[in-house]
Amino acid sequence: MPTPPLSPDPIEIAEDPEMHVLATRRKTAVATLVRTAALALLAAVAAAGLGAVPARAADGDVTWTVRTASNSYGADRSSFSYSVNPGGQVNDAMVVANRGKDPLDLAVYTADGFTTGTGQLDLLTRDKKSVGIGAWVHADRERVVIQPGKTAEVPFAVNIPDNAPPGDYAGGIVTSLTQANEAEGINVDRRLGIRIKLRISGELKPSLTVEDLHIDYAGTSNPFGKGDATVTYRIHNTGNAILSAQQAVSVTGPFGWLRADAGDVAAPPELLPGESWTVTVPVHGVAPAVRLAATVGLTPLLTDASGSTTALDPVSTTAHGWAIPWTLLVLVVVLLAAVVGAPLLARRGRARRKQREDARVQEAVEQALREQETPAR
């Protein structure tokens, strides 16, 4: 499954054991200029059988909630999750409640998901083409009108094509309200929805690879001290399952000597098939061993429909970089120069002293000869 493009106005998923919800604020200029912005509006708690605190408009007048319907799939579910065969169908529903004082007219649609640069699940905007959940999941209506204090059930159907590739897919079903903000001359589009995760049966091929691994070294002015290394790489989900991972990073010198570990490295977010995540890890106390080896170990983590996580076979990648101990080299050169140069200077000094002594002796001999040749008066 190809990685969806980044959305110009992201939806942030609120991760909570009681409810996975989506909430954003999108601003669009009334004229030709379009501005967008995102705002997470929801935190989830359990109250009176509902799974979420309602999202609220800026003036506090508009309030609504969404939750999963109670049916044969369960009650008080945190999100929609299905295992389906190619060509299969699932029917379910979302419940929308109007907690405000005025009637609500909400748009309803579905969209594919993707992981943002902050590690959150986002959804494509309605004007973007979906090829997975957004194309296979359809609500039975495009709009729902709810009176104050009332709820409405919005059924939807999941229709999987016969040729759908096996693996994991993520997206969501969304309710949207557009309101005019006359003070700013813009429209505010508020979205609230629930995550949908599909696993289409067939051969599951979970796979993570480490790409573009390289190491940079920053030395120290202390010729006998240790410096810091920075290990950078990209985690690429090359399989067809949603995966996170446990990470381990270490740096060694030649023959595996002088090992330095990075310690605890935060797990990446769950990556959808085809997605990548860039990681930068500092490693302290690295000896400048001229040639360094940076090793990254990943243990992929696969979560099944019940929520249990399985650790898969680890993968490991190594790359090399230079760590020249320049300060130590300068010190060694100076010491070598002293060791080699001192005898040379001593020999030169002795030679000069001998030349001066020979010159004095020669001059004395010549003076004595001159005195002998001078006739007595």
Residues 105-122 have a mean pLDDT of 95
pTM: 0.74
Residue that wins the pLDDT comparison between 308 and 43: 308
Across 142-146, 324-328, 337-341, 356-360, which has the greatest mean pLDDT? 142-146
Give the position of tokens 């000069």: 352
Give the pLDDT score at 297. 98
Give the pLDDT score at 376. 54
Cβ contacts of 50-57, under 8 Å, gap ≥ 24: 50/97, 51/18, 51/19, 51/76, 51/78, 52/18, 52/19, 52/21, 54/97, 54/99, 55/21, 55/23, 55/190, 55/192, 57/177, 57/179, 57/188, 57/190
- The token pair that represents 232 in the structure block: 């950078």
Residue that wins the pLDDT comparison between 260 and 305: 260
Res. 12: pLDDT tops 70: no
In percent, the amount of the chain with pLDDT more than 70 equals 80
Averaged pLDDT score across all residues of the chain: 82
Res. 302: pLDDT tops 90: yes
- Kindly give the pairing relationship between strand 186-200 and strand 80-84: parallel
Q: What is the pLDDT of residues 226-247, one digit of tens each?
A: 999 999 999 999 999 999 999 9
How many whole angstroms separate alpha carbon 344 and alpha carbon 353? 14
How many whole angstroms separate alpha carbon 175 and alpha carbon 192? 5
Q: What is the pLDDT of residues 19-62, one digit of tens each?
A: 344 544 444 433 333 333 333 333 232 222 223 333 333 345 67
